A and B are shown apart, each in its own frame.
Chain A
Amino acid sequence: MRIKKYFLIVFFIILTNFSFAEEKNLQNEITKNLRCLICQGQSVYDSDSEFANSIKSLVDQKLKEGNSEKEIYEYLKVRYGDWILYDPEFSKNTYFLWLLPLLLFLFGGAIILKLFNIRKN
Chain B
Amino acid sequence: MASLIGFYSLVLGVIISFIITFFSVKNFKEPIVFDKKIIHFSFLQFFLVLISFLGLIVSFVNSDFSNETVFNNSHTTKPLFYKITGTWGNHEGSLLLWLLVLTLFAVLFIIKSNKQPTRYRILTLLFQQLIILGFFIFVLKTSSPFNYIYPVPNEGLGLNPILQDPALAIHPPILYLGYVGSSIIFSSTLAAVVLNYISKEWASHIKDWVIISWIFLTLGILLGSIWAYYELGWGGFWFWDPVENVSLMPWLALTTLIHCILVLEKRLLLTSWVVILSISTFTLSMCGTFLVRSGILNSVHTFANDPERGLFILIFLFSLIFMSLFVFFFFYRENDKTDYSIFFLSKETSIIVNNWFMMYFLSVVLIGTTYPIFLEVISSEKISVGPPFYNKLIAPFLIPFLFFMAIGPKLKWVKSDLSDKIYLILFLIISLFLSIFIVQNFKIEFLLNTILITFAFYLFFITVRDFVSKKYKNLSQNLAHFGFSLFILSILFNNIFATEVITNLKVGDTFKTEKFNINFESLSQKNKQNYKSIVGKLIIENSKGSIEVMEPELRIYNQPNISTSEADIKTGFLNDKFMTINIVQNQEYFNVRYQIKPFMIWIWFSILLITSGGLISMLKKKYEN
Contacts and interface: CB of A to CB of B under 8 A. Distances in A.
Interface of A: 2-3, 6-7, 10-11, 13-14, 17-22, 28, 32-33, 35, 40-43, 45-48, 50, 81-88, 93-94, 96-98, 100-102, 104-105, 108-109, 112, 115-116, 118-119
A107 to B, nearest CB: 10
B615 interface: no
- The listed residue with most A CB atoms (<10 A of its CB), out of B367, B382, B515, is B367
B527 interface: no
Contact of A6 (B446, B464, B591): B464
A73 B411 CA distance: 49
Contacts, number: 134
Interface in B506-533: 515
Given A22-B499, A84-B384, A112-B352, A7 B299 contact: no
- The listed residue with most B CB atoms (<10 A of its CB), out of A6, A7, A93, is A93
B360 A87 contact: no
B574 A40 contact: no
Given A21-B497, A100-B367, A50 B438 contact: no
Contacts of B438: 14, 18
Contacts of A18: 438, 497, 598
A42 B232 CA distance: 10
Given A21-B497, A46-B234, A40 B298 contact: yes
A82 B379 CA distance: 13
A85 B496 CA distance: 23
Contacts of B234: 42, 45-47
A97 B392 CA distance: 12
A40 B299 contact: yes
Nearest to A108: B356
B276 to A, nearest CB: 12
Interface in B281-311: 298-300, 302
A32 B368 CA distance: 18
A88 B465 CA distance: 42
Contacts of A6: 464, 468
Contact of B389 (A2, A20, A22, A87): A87
B430 A40 contact: no
Can you list the 3 inter-chain pairs with the closest CB atoms, starting with the nearest? A86-B386, A87-B388, A46-B234
B582 interface: yes
Contacts of A94: 371, 383
Given A3-B465, A104-B360, A41 B299 contact: yes
Contact of B360 (A42, A43, A81, A108): A108
Interface in B568-612: 574-575, 582, 584-585, 591, 598
Nearest to B599: A17
B364 A82 contact: no
B236 A46 contact: yes
Given A20-B440, A101-B363, A104-B359, A93 B300 contact: no
Contact of A21 (B379, B441, B500): B441
Contacts of A81: 381-382
B318 interface: no
Nearest to B501: A25
A43 B397 CA distance: 26
Given A104-B360, A105-B360, A35 B384 contact: yes
B378 to A, nearest CB: 10
Contact of A97 (B300, B360, B368, B500): B368
B314 to A, nearest CB: 22
B381 A33 contact: no
B439 interface: yes
A86 B242 contact: no
Given A42-B234, A82-B383, A112 B389 contact: no
A100 B356 contact: no
Nearest to A85: B384
Contacts of A46: 232-234, 236, 239
